[in-house]
Structure 1
Amino acid sequence: MPDRKTRLVTLMLTGLLAGPAFGASKILATSGAGSIEGAAGGGLVPWAVIGGYGSDGEWGAAASLGRVDVDDFRLGTASVLAGVHDRLEVSFAQQTLQVEPLDAVIEQHVYGVKTRVAGHLIYGRLPQLSFGLQHKVNQNPAIATDVLGANSASGTDTYIAASKLYLHALFERDLLLNGTLRYTDANQTGLLGFGNSGGEDPQLVGEASVGLFLNPNWAIGAEYRQKPDRLDAVDEDAWRDVFVAWFPNKRVSVVGAYADLGSIALWDDQQGWYLSVQITN
């Protein structure tokens, strides 16, 4: 029988494919792709873009499935989002982490909101600037709080992202640059809880993405995500990936990547692949 995550996304995909297009005024690929926390952007990093292809006065929506498969862990993500007037985005993601050496499963829910506050992705000199919140609730906190010494099973990240698409910028190809500053006390994005034995311990961390469009349908690039290292019992490293993205049309996007997640809990050198598929309306 399909699990709850699969049923949720199947229902959303059916609705998106069967329902009318709310709006499709934005240029191909400017809605971003599905991320591990549900917000529109890259696989690891939220961008300033608002999900969906709706522009001013229009709505947009998307549903995605993603999977990260490294040496000792499997992270599956199912997410949905809605974009309103290219100004506001709301999202929900359900993450399921399988810890293979312990035969354990950790589930987390991520509730997100993002608003565009200034600038535009393409037009004008100022990059698009967006402010976002992600409230995360760990559904299986025992490993984080009882074993590793995290302070809490829930927490809220705040971030500001700046994104700009430079047309014909590099070898006559479009170049996307994104930078994100995040204020967070999440351990491994919250999958290992929040804070430490001393209480809440948030830190300002940086994230970045770069993408080069080989043509309107294909892009290559890389991402980097700095993360706080707050647990006394284990080390935490920055995450990075190199990716290939395919946008055959405005309904579908596929992203594949090689990911290096460094140390996670008691296991070092976690490397492997990432894949996500998004359906957009």
Structure 2
Amino acid sequence: MFNALAENLQLAMQQQGVPNSAANRLVARLAPMQRDIVTARATPAAPDRGKLLATGGVSTVEGAAGGGIVPWALISGYGSRDSWGANAYYTYLGTQDYQLASYGVVVGIADRLEISLADQQLRGSLAPLDRLAIRQQIFGLKVKLAGDVVYDQDSLMPQVAAGILYKRHQRLGGLDALGVSRVQQLGASDDHGYDYYLAATKLVLEHSLLLNATVRATRANQMGLLGLGGDQGTRTRLMPELSVAYLADRKLAIGAEYRRKPHNLGLDHEKAYYDVFAAWFPNKNLSLTLAYAVLGDITVFNPKRQRGAYLSVQAGF
């Protein structure tokens, strides 16, 4: 398998003390040859884990493969075009006044189709929202449309994928004293709806750099945790999202992300999310991501910029 050849070459160079940047430059020259060398599909009986380490990304807080808060064009798992792969993840994000837990599963099929299911739970810790408990489920689909993040090293063509996220509110609790039990009572138009996105991801191995740009069509308030649409706006709007990562080592990526969001609710002066992160891939069965995230204001009840640590664990095959 061509992927195995490239990965074994990386390992051999690492064992011989070749700098990561030099190793990546060599693989960047080798990768485009895959189109001429591999002419037939294999039919493995089990997941082959054929993709290069880290090229399945990690799981975002909404389930799709990418960074922590931005979906990328990568397809989750290490299954090549002849196979499939799956991951389960758990993410915890804690700020001064809130804790967000997200967990779920994501499956990548033939390095072409991705299916994800995520469960988000947000809790408050400071009055008057110290009893706040919100739950949301997200079902996602992503399809790779064009390009290959590894093999297109000889062109400017990125890997491009389109995705859809169906978000449905499950619970809003802890606001009984305010007479609130539904997100519509906070001003939201709906408790369910869709996000649509188009992502373009370019891996420049020669410079050990990953670049991603995503455009999302959304009405979601705080990712949908506060419903969709609201008294300040109900229409779907296009929001830009950006990511950059430096491959310091074949097992370590360091980067930053930015995600702009709509402001639909009068009681929530919603701001953009951004983070800086380090993702470690000790092997193809495990990844750990540590980040410092800034989420902006979350409702007028706790009017301060929310920031804190983000930890995500992903396990799979």
Q: Please, what TM-score do these two structures have when normalized by structure 2? A: 0.79
- Tell me the residue number matched to 1:255: 289
Q: Give the letter for the 2:149 counterpart.
A: L
Mapped partners of 1:275, 1:21: distance in 2 = 31
* Uncovered stretches (5+) of structure 2, i.e. residues with no partner: 1-44, 173-180
Mapped partners of 2:236, 2:221: distance in 1 = 10
Question: Comparing both structures, which one devotes a greater share of its residues to helix?
Answer: 2
Q: Give the letter for the 1:273 counterpart.
A: A
Corresponding residue SS for 2:222 = helix
- Tell me the residue number matched to 2:170: 139
Q: Paired residue for 1:27, among 52, 62, 65?
A: 52
Within the alignment, does 1:54 sit opposite 2:88 as a pair? no
Q: 1:165 to 1:136 in 2, by over 3 A?
A: same
Mapped partners of 2:297, 2:235: distance in 1 = 20
Corresponding residue SS for 1:235 = coil
Preserved CA contact (<8 Å) 2:60 2:66 = yes
Mapping 1:1-281, distance limit 5 Å: 22-101=47-126, 102=129, 103-124=131-152, 125=155, 126-141=157-172, 142=181, 144-146=183-185, 148-169=186-207, 174-197=208-231, 200-266=234-300, 267=302, 268-281=304-317
Mapped partners of 1:213, 1:21: distance in 2 = 29
Tell me whether 154-163 or 194-203 shows the greater mean CA deviation: 194-203
Mapped partners of 2:284, 2:86: distance in 1 = 11
Return the offset for 1:21. 5.5
Q: 1:199 to 1:211 in 2, by over 3 A?
A: closer
The superposition leaves residues 97-140 of structure 1 with CA deviations (integer Å, 9 ceiling, x where unpaired) of: 00223211100000000000011112222100000000000112
Corresponding residue SS for 1:168 = helix
Mapped partners of 2:65, 2:308: distance in 1 = 22
> Looking at CA atoms only, which structure, 1 or 2, has the larger radius of gyration?
2
Return the offset for 1:198. 7.0
The superposition leaves residues 59-88 of structure 1 with CA deviations (integer Å, 9 ceiling, x where unpaired) of: 110000001100111000111011110000
Mapped partners of 2:106, 2:46: distance in 1 = 15
* Uncovered stretches (5+) of structure 1, i.e. residues with no partner: 1-19
Return the offset for 1:143. 5.1
Q: Percent identity over the alignment?
A: 46
Corresponding residue SS for 1:140 = strand
Corresponding residue SS for 2:223 = helix
Q: 1:21 to 1:36 in 2, by over 3 A?
A: farther
Mapped partners of 1:89, 1:96: distance in 2 = 23
RMSD (Å) for aligned C-alpha atoms: 1.3
Return the offset for 1:233. 2.2
Return the offset for 1:280. 2.0
Q: Give the letter for the 1:276 counterpart.
A: S
Corresponding residue SS for 2:283 = coil
Number of aligned positions between the proteins: 257
Mapped partners of 1:214, 1:234: distance in 2 = 38
Tell me whether 195-204 or 236-245 shows the greater mean CA deviation: 195-204
Q: Give the letter for the 2:213 counterpart.
A: G
Return the offset for 1:197. 3.3
Mapped partners of 1:199, 1:228: distance in 2 = 9
Mapped partners of 1:255, 1:150: distance in 2 = 32
Q: Give the letter for the 2:273 counterpart.
A: W
Mapped partners of 2:145, 2:229: distance in 1 = 29
Preserved CA contact (<8 Å) 2:231 2:264 = no
Return the offset for 1:201. 1.9
